[in-house]
Amino acid sequence: MSARSFLSAAGPRMSFVNETDRPRAVLVAVQLPHVTDDEVESSLDELQRLVETLGLTPIARVSQKRRGVGSAAVFGEGKLKEIARLTGGTGVVPAGVTRRPGKKTRRPGDAESDDEEDLDVTPTDEVGLQDAPDELATVVVVDDDLTPTQLRNLEGATSAEVHDRSSVILSIFQRHARTREALLQVEIARLVYMAPRLRLAGGGGDRQRGGVGGKGAGESSLELDRRRVRDRIAALRRELEVVQRDSSARRTRRVDSRAVAIVGYTNAGKSSLMRRLTETQVLVENKLFATLDTTVRSLCPETRPKILVSDTVGFIKKLPHDLVASFRSTLEEASQASFLLHVVDASDPAFRSHIEVTETVLGEVGAGERESLLVLNKMDCVDAEERAALTDEFPDAMQISALAPEDVDRTHAAIVQFFERDMVEGELFVSYAEPRRIHEIHEACRVLSETHEEQGTRVLVRAPAGVLERLRSGGEHEDVLR
């Protein structure tokens, strides 16, 4: 793909009109020596949800035990042919591919090495591939990041469109981005991902420059395309800086606000909980990365002082580094919040690794030291025995279902309790000449009583000590805390 066609692309290359037109996909993975069978299956389950979110229909899974993913074709020759049988390809890398230095070529009849141990191909129950050759897959999705050479080799051997995990995640982000900031962040990450994967179009290589002062061969078409991409990335980053300055200014205006951020793995139920805690119509979908843009709403029933709740983008294993970097400003909502609700899908067998991934990303964005509450969500899908085991394993966690009103009320109470513990009781005096300050006090504090005296109003409040000090510094009287 050239830079010109890539820069004008509106979305992923695959598309469909209805359920029957969904492209069929084969999911493939390399099982490294330190990875267990259960971990491979869990990762493939997650990859399946990713490709279904993108609009593909997975029809088979293929995995192979190898020592690494660095070979030119990723898989061994035998496994490559098995994948090709699912896609209608030859299973042979086209001639002319340069193998990695030092890579030993296996002669016909040689036994496979230890790093090419096969696992069974497992088609889904709904599709009988052996009996229905017209049901061949047109897309191969690899549960790892691939180099441009590996992508080309797999496409040549399978005669299918090949995507790695990062490209699938990027495509989903591109579809779900709504605000200008998210759109810019995704486009930058996508261009950075695609830059080394640009291919030289057929035909000539160099562009000749003639005339006086000509220097012979000029830039190749590939070099021109890459330069256009670099220029586009630079322009997008400049535009993003302007947008992020505006976002930063809004966050600065909320610096004295009490804020709680809902964080966690993608599809853990963060938006569902957000919707019920704030009684707003936040987007809720059973899809990965349905939420990309940070949403900030007031906790409801509303408290005094007001508590703000923000819903953040979900995390995932093997999240492309450029996406983490691009969304760093979006995740600053978590780093600037006073309290974090770490929401986990307790019904997912891999939720422990999800907790680890979330904590790692929070550490990268500077929110790792924030006080947090672990919320084990979707407990309505967990049986009594598992509940008891989770209580023993996570004694400080809160077990809820975001669909249960009583559990939402308990979560609301836990948030309020966190902020209440830092509140102190104090007395403020406001002159009748400063009516505006009465409104400010009601917004920033919980008013316990008001007494109208000859010179003004004496107000008994509960509020954070810092807020009380700020309110006192703006008035004529310097009353002390009770």
pLDDT of 105 = 41
246 plus 280 within the same structural domain: no
The answer to whether residues 280 and 371 belong to one domain is yes
Per-residue model confidence (pLDDT) at position 442: 85
Residues 333 and 286: beta-carbon distance below 8 Å: no
**In terms of domains, do 428 and 400 share one?**
no
Residue 272 — φ and ψ, nearest 5°? -65, -45
Whether residues 322 and 413 share a domain: the answer is yes
**Do the domain assignments include residue 325?**
yes
Domain that holds residue 79: 3-95+115-172
> Are 153 and 41 in a shared domain?
yes
AA identity, residue 198: L
Q: What's the pLDDT score for residue 169? A: 85
Considering the domain boundaries, does residue 210 fall inside one?
no
| 258-264: strand order across its sheet | 295-298, 307-311, 258-264, 339-345, 372-377, 398-399
Residue 165, class by beta-carbon neighbours within 10 Å (0-12 exposed, 13-18 middle, 19+ buried)? Answer: buried
Number of domains making up the chain: 4
Q: Are 416 and 428 part of one and the same domain?
A: no
- 104 found inside a domain: no
Give the C-alpha separation, 208 to 337, whole Å.
57
What are the φ/ψ torsions at residue 264 (nearest 5 degrees)?
155, 180
378 and 392 both lie in a single domain: yes
Q: What residue type is assigned to position 435 of the chain? A: P
For residue 106, tell me if it sits in a domain: no
**Same domain? 266 vs 193:** no
Looking at the structure, do residues 288 and 405 belong to the same domain, yes or no? Answer: yes
CATH number, position 77: 3.40.50.11060
d(CA 207, CA 201): 13
Residue 234 sits in the same domain as residue 91: no
Write the DSSP assignment of 329-379 as a string of letters.
TTTHHHHH-SEEEEEEETTSTTHHHHHHHHHHHHHHTT-TTS-EEEEEE-G
If asked whether residues 354 and 459 sit together in one domain, one would say no
| Positions of the chain with pLDDT lower than 50, given as ranges | 1-19, 98-133, 200-204, 207-212, 215-216, 475-482
Is 205 strand, coil or helix?
A: coil
**What value, to the nearest 5°, has the Cα angle with vertex 441 and ends 438 and 444?**
155
In a domain, 69, yes or no: yes
* pLDDT of the residue at 389: 96
Does 216 fall in a domain? no
**Is residue 209 a part of any domain in this protein?**
no
Q: Which amino acid is at 58?
A: P
- Tokens 């994948």: give the residue: 83
What dihedral angle (degrees, nearest 10) is formed by the CA atoms of 330, 335, 337, 342?
Answer: 90
Handedness of CA 339, 189, 100, 66 (dihedral sign): positive
- In this prediction, residue 171 carries a pLDDT of 86
My answer on whether 64 and 185 are in the same domain is no
Q: Tokens 């979110």 map to which residue?
A: 53
In a domain, 211, yes or no: no
Q: What is the CATH number of the domain that holds 387?
A: 3.40.50.300
